[in-house]
Amino acid sequence: MTRCRVLFLALVVAVVGLLGLVACGRTTPVSGLARIRAAGVIKWGGDIQGGEPYVYGDPKSPDRLIGFEVEIADAIARELGVRAEFVQNDWANLVPSLERGSFDIVMNGLEVTEARVGRVRFTRPYCVFTERLMARAGNASIAPDLLALRGKKVGTLANSLAFEMLRGTATPVVYDGVEEPYLDLVNGRTDAVLLDDIIATRYGAPRPELQVVGDLREGYYAIAVRPSDPDLAAAIDDAIGAIAARGELRRILERSHLWNDRQDRLIGWTAADQTRMLGAPRSPPPIERGHVMLFLRGAGVTLLVSTLAMALAIPLGLLLSLARLHGGPVLARLAGAYVEIYRGTPVLLQLYLLYYGLAPVLKLGALPAAVIGLGMNYAAYEAEVYRAGIQAVPKAQIESALALGMSTRLALRRVVLPQALRHAIPNVTNDFIALLKDSSLVSVITVVELTKQMTITAVDVRSWIGPGLLCAGLYFAMSYPLGRIARRLEKKLEGEREAEAAT
Amino acid sequence: MIVVDNVEKAFESRVVLDGVSVRFDRGKVSALVGPSGGGKSTLLRCINGLERFDAGRIEVDGLVLGPSKTDRPSRADRATLRAIRLKAGMVFQHYGLFSHMSALENVMEAPIHVRGVAPAVARERAKLLLAQVGLPHRRNAFPRELSGGEQQRVAIARALAMDPEALLLDEPTSALDPERKAEVVGVLRDLAKQGATMIIVTHEAAVVREIADHAICLRDGKVVAAGSPSEVL
C-alpha cells in the first residue's frame, strides 16, 4: 500500500536525521582544557531541584545561586583561571546532557557508580556520603539491611545510586525532587526512603513523623568529565588537590555543615584511593528481552492510565456540557468555570496539587491520582467537544421534538445526544491519542509508564537511540490505529453531512 | 376549536403581533397568508407554545395559555404546553426530521416515548401512515437519502402518528421545487377531504385556493382580511 510506503519513508528520514544530529554533536576536535581556557568559562551542569545544600537559589535574592557545589565550582574555576557558569538540567539526565555537550562537567551530588564509571571520567571526589534509610517513627518492620527491604516500597531519586541498590530487592518508587519522597513516606504511600545522608539530614530528619533506620553503604560525589577531555579531568584533579591541601575544601564543607570524620580522606586522596573508588568499570548491558518486557509493561501502564482517564473524562465532560447548556444560570456558570480553570492551567500542576497538595486530607494512590488527574483535565476538553456536538444539532429537530410533545429532557436524550455523541466521536478519538502521550506526565507522581521506563532504561544501557526508538514505536503502535479509525469516522460523518446539505 | 384572543408580541421593540384575534374551527382548513414579516408564522408558533407572547390569551380545546415574560415556562405552563402540543401537531418548513433515525423510526419515535405505545403497535401504525403519504417503499431510508418532498411527507406522517386534533403547518411547501410541491399538496388535500383540522401558513395562492376553506391575512401584526380564499386573495 502506498500509504504504508510513505509512512516507512518518513520514519527512515526521521531516524537518519536523528543519527545525523547525534554525529554532529560528537565533533569536539579541540581538547577540553584548551577549549575552556579559550572561552574563559567552565560550564557545569546541575539541577536546582536538588535544593539545599547542593545548588539552590539564595533565599535573600533568589536570582543568585548558592550552595557548597557553587563554592567548589568557583574555587576550581579560579584554579583553572576561568569563570564558572551554572547550567540547569534535569538531574536524571545530567550524564546524557554532558555527552551531548550541553556543559563541560557535571557536579551535582553525582554518585560514583559502576554504571557511570564506564560512561564518564570521574575526578577525585569532593564529598563522602552514606546511603541513609529512613522510615516512619515506630515502624519496627524496617531494618538497615537491603535484603530485608524485599517487597517494600522504598522512595528514592530516579537513576541514583540508591535506585541501583534497591532495584532487584525492594520496589523502588522514583521521584524527581528531594522533598516529595519524604512527603510520601509521611503520608504512608511508601514504607521507607533510601537517599544520601546529606539529603536525609535536611529533608527527612526534620520531620518528627520519621526516623533514621541506618546507613547501608558509603559513596562519593565526584565531578564527571567527558572521556574525550582527559586533560580537563587531570586539571580538575589538581585543582581539587590544591583546594583540599590549603584547607579551603574543609571550610566550604563546614559552611554547609557537611564536614565530618569521613571527609578527612578527601585531603590526602591518592591514586590508589581513586582506583578503589572507581572499581571495575561495568560495560553497558545491551537492550535485551528483559528490557523489552519492561517496555511492554510500561506501555500497559500507559494504556491503562489513558483508558481509565478517558472513561472518566467522557461522562464527566458530558455532564459538564449539559450543565453548561441546560443547567440553569448557576450550574452553567460553575461548569464554565471548571472548563476554563482546567484548560487554563498546566495538567502537570494539577497532578502535583492532587497528589501532593491534597495528601493531608485525601491520600490517593499514585495510579488513582494519575487517572483522576488526567480524567478531570480531559473532561474539560471533552465538555467543549460535546458542547460543539450538541450545538451542531439543527434547531428544527429540537423544535420538532418539542412539538411532538417531548419534554426538553426526553428531546435531549432521544434526539440531541445520540447525534451529538456521534459527531463527537472523531474528536474524542483524537483527544484519546493526545491523552496517550500526555499520560507520560504522570511520572511526576511516581507512576512508571512508558516514557519513564524509557528514560530509566536509557540510563541503564547508556544510549537513547535504542530505547527511544522502541518507546516511539510502542506509542506509534497504540496511536496509529486510533488515528486511522478517527479519520475513517470523520470521512463517514462528512459524507453524511454533505448528503444532508444536498437535499 | 382554537381561539386566539387579542394576542400581542414584540421582539425587542419590533411589534410582530398587534392585538390579533382569530377563531379556527374544527374540521376546517384555514390558511394564514400575508407578506413576509406580517406575523403569520409567529402566530402559528405561539399557538404551539414554541414562542411565548406578551399579552392576550390562546385557547386550544379548552386548554388556556396566557402571556409570559420569560422563555422558560413555569411548571404549570409546561404541563399546559405539552397537552396543547399533543392536540396540535406541527409541520415545519425545513422538515426537522431526526437525522439519526430512518423514516419509520421518525414516525414511531413520539408514540412510543411520549404516548407509551407498544413498539410493535407503533411500528404497524407508522407503516400505514407512510403508505398514506405515498412512501411505503422508503420506510428504511434515512432523511439524508430522501428528497425534500419525501422528507416533508415523512414529517406529516410523524405529526399524524400522534393523532392530533389539529395540524399546524408552517410554510410546508416553500422549500420545495414545483414537482415536489405537488406531492405534498396532494397529501394535504387528501387529509382535508378526510375532515382534518389544519392551519397552514403559506404565501402560495395555489395552495390556499386548492385546500383552504377559509383564509386570514396578517399584515404588520394585524388581521387585515378574513373570509373565503377568493375574497381574501
DSSP letters, A181-214, are HHHHHHTTSSSEEEEEHHHIIIIITT-TTEEEEE
With a cut of 60, say whether residue B86 has pLDDT above it: yes
Residue showing cell 431526526: B98
Residues of B in contact with A394 (CB under 8 A): 94, 96, 99
pLDDT value of residue A28 = 47
User: Taking CA atoms, what residue in B is nearest to A398?
Assistant: B96
Scored b (16 or more CB within 10 A) or e, A258-281 reads bbeeebeebeebeeeebeebbeee
One-letter amino acid at B216 equals I
pTM: 0.77
Ordered domains of chain B (ranges, CATH): 2-96+165-227 (3.40.50.300)
User: How does pLDDT run along chain A (503 residues), one tens digit per residue?
Assistant: 455 566 666 665 566 566 555 555 444 456 788 899 999 999 999 999 888 899 998 888 888 899 999 999 999 999 999 999 999 998 888 988 998 889 999 999 999 988 888 889 999 999 999 999 999 998 888 888 888 899 899 999 888 889 988 988 899 999 988 889 999 999 999 999 999 999 999 999 999 999 999 999 999 999 999 999 999 999 999 999 999 999 999 999 999 999 999 999 999 899 999 999 988 767 777 777 888 888 899 999 999 999 999 999 999 999 999 999 988 889 999 999 999 999 999 999 999 999 988 888 888 889 999 999 999 999 999 999 999 999 999 999 999 999 999 988 999 999 999 999 888 988 999 999 999 999 999 988 888 889 888 888 887 777 788 889 999 999 999 999 988 888 888 888 777 766 666 55
Are B114 and A404 inside 8 Å of each other by CB? yes
User: Taking CA atoms, what residue in A is nearest to B80?
Assistant: A405
Specify the higher pLDDT residue, B194 or A380.
A380
Are A404 and B85 inside 8 Å of each other by CB? yes
> For the domain bounded by A127-220, which CATH number is listed?
3.40.190.10
What is the Cα–Cα distance from A201 to A178, expressed in whole angstroms? 11
* CB nearest to A499's CB, from B100, B144, B158: B144
Phi, psi for residue A168 in degrees, rounded to 5 = 95, -20
Give the SS3 label for residue B147.
coil
B199, B2 contact by CB (below 8 A): yes
Are A397 and B96 inside 8 Å of each other by CB? yes
What is the Cα–Cα distance from B176 to B88, expressed in whole angstroms? 24
Whose CA is closest to B73, among B81, B83, B84? Answer: B81
Q: Which residues contact A13 (CB under 8 A, 6 or more apart)?
A: none
With a cut of 90, say whether residue B111 has pLDDT above it: yes
A467, A458 contact by CB (below 8 A): yes
Q: Which residues of B, range 143-172, sit inside 8 Å of A by Cβ?
A: 143-148, 151, 155, 158-159, 162
Are A397 and B89 inside 8 Å of each other by CB? no
Give the SS3 label for residue A316.
helix
CA dist list (Å): A291 to A96, A223, A301: 19, 29, 15
Q: Which residues contact B19 (CB under 8 A, 6 or more apart)?
A: B6, B7, B8, B56, B221, B222
pLDDT value of residue A6 = 62
Whose CA is closest to A243, among A124, A154, A348? Answer: A124
User: Taking CA atoms, what residue in A is nearest to B147?
Assistant: A503
Q: Which residues contact A78 (CB under 8 A, 6 or more apart)?
A: none
Specify the higher pLDDT residue, B179 or A38.
A38
| CA–centroid distance for B225 within its chain | 21
* CB nearest to B147's CB, from A399, A419, A503: A503
Residues of B in contact with A419 (CB under 8 A): 98-100
With a cut of 80, say whether residue B188 has pLDDT above it: yes
User: Taking CA atoms, what residue in A is nearest to B91?
Assistant: A400
Are A503 and B151 inside 8 Å of each other by CB? yes
Whose CA is closest to B168, among B226, B55, B86? Answer: B86
pLDDT value of residue A117 = 87
A431, A383 contact by CB (below 8 A): no
| Domain covering A32-125+221-278: architecture | 3-Layer(aba) Sandwich (3.40)
Question: B223 vs chain A: nearest CA distance in angstroms?
Answer: 25
* CB nearest to B96's CB, from A396, A406, A422: A396
**Strands (DSSP E) along A58-152, which ranges?**
65-66, 83-88, 105-106, 121-136
Give the SS3 label for residue B155.
helix
C-alpha cell read off for B19: 392585538
Are A399 and B85 inside 8 Å of each other by CB? no
Are B50 and A404 inside 8 Å of each other by CB? no
What is the Cα–Cα distance from A246 to A242, expressed in whole angstroms? 6
B152, B91 contact by CB (below 8 A): yes
Is the backbone peptide bond immediately before A329 cis, with ω within 30 degrees of 0?
no
Question: Across the A/B interface, how many CB contacts are shorter than 8 Å?
Answer: 77
**Strands (DSSP E) along B75-194, which ranges?**
88-91, 166-170
- State the average pLDDT over residues B59-66: 89
Are B50 and A415 inside 8 Å of each other by CB? no
What is the Cα–Cα distance from A229 to A55, expressed in whole angstroms? 24
The 10s digit of each residue's pLDDT in B1-56 is: 899 999 999 888 888 999 899 999 888 999 999 888 888 999 999 999 888 899 99
A221, A126 contact by CB (below 8 A): yes
Phi, psi for residue A156 in degrees, rounded to 5 = -165, 180
What is the Cα–Cα distance from B155 to B187, expressed in whole angstroms? 12
Q: Which residues of A, range 88-117, sit inside 8 Å of B by Cβ?
A: none
What is the Cα–Cα distance from B167 to B189, expressed in whole angstroms? 13
Q: Calculate ∠ Cα A377-A381-A385, nearest 5°.
A: 155
Question: A379 vs chain B: nearest CA distance in angstroms?
Answer: 26
Start-end of CATH 1.10.3720.10 domains in chain A? 289-502
Whose CA is closest to B135, among B161, B126, B144? Answer: B126
Give the SS3 label for residue A215.
strand
| CA–centroid distance for B140 within its chain | 25
Question: B159 vs chain A: nearest CA distance in angstroms?
Answer: 7
A207, A186 contact by CB (below 8 A): yes
Start-end of CATH 3.40.190.10 domains in chain A? 32-125+221-278, 127-220
User: Taking CA atoms, what residue in A is nearest to B72?
Assistant: A328
Residues of B in contact with A495 (CB under 8 A): none
Q: Which residues contact B15 (CB under 8 A, 6 or more apart)?
A: B8, B9, B220, B221
Are B114 and A410 inside 8 Å of each other by CB? yes
Torsion-angle region of residue B37: left (phi > 0), alpha (psi -120 to 50) or beta?
Answer: left
Torsion-angle region of residue A366: left (phi > 0), alpha (psi -120 to 50) or beta?
Answer: alpha
Decide if A406 touches B, using CB distance below 8 A.
yes
* CB nearest to B146's CB, from A419, A422, A503: A503
Decide if A418 touches B, using CB distance below 8 A.
yes
pLDDT value of residue A1 = 44
Are A496 and B144 inside 8 Å of each other by CB? yes
What is the Cα–Cα distance from B40 to B46, expressed in whole angstroms? 10
C-alpha cell read off for A399: 423544535
* CB nearest to B94's CB, from A396, A402, A407: A396
Class of domain A289-502: mainly alpha
Decide if B74 touches A, using CB distance below 8 A.
no
What is the Cα–Cα distance from A186 to A360, expressed in whole angstroms? 10
Q: Which residues of A, range 363-382, sit inside 8 Å of B by Cβ?
A: none
Are B144 and A503 inside 8 Å of each other by CB? yes
Question: B226 vs chain A: nearest CA distance in angstroms?
Answer: 27
Question: B97 vs chain A: nearest CA distance in angstroms?
Answer: 6
Question: A493 vs chain B: nearest CA distance in angstroms?
Answer: 11
Decide if A422 touches B, using CB distance below 8 A.
yes
One-letter amino acid at A92 equals A
Question: B205 vs chain A: nearest CA distance in angstroms?
Answer: 25
Scored b (16 or more CB within 10 A) or e, B95-121 reads bbbbbbbbbbbbbbbbbbbbeebeeee
- Pairing relationship of beta strands A65-66 and A153-157 according to DSSP bridges: unpaired
B149, B183 contact by CB (below 8 A): yes
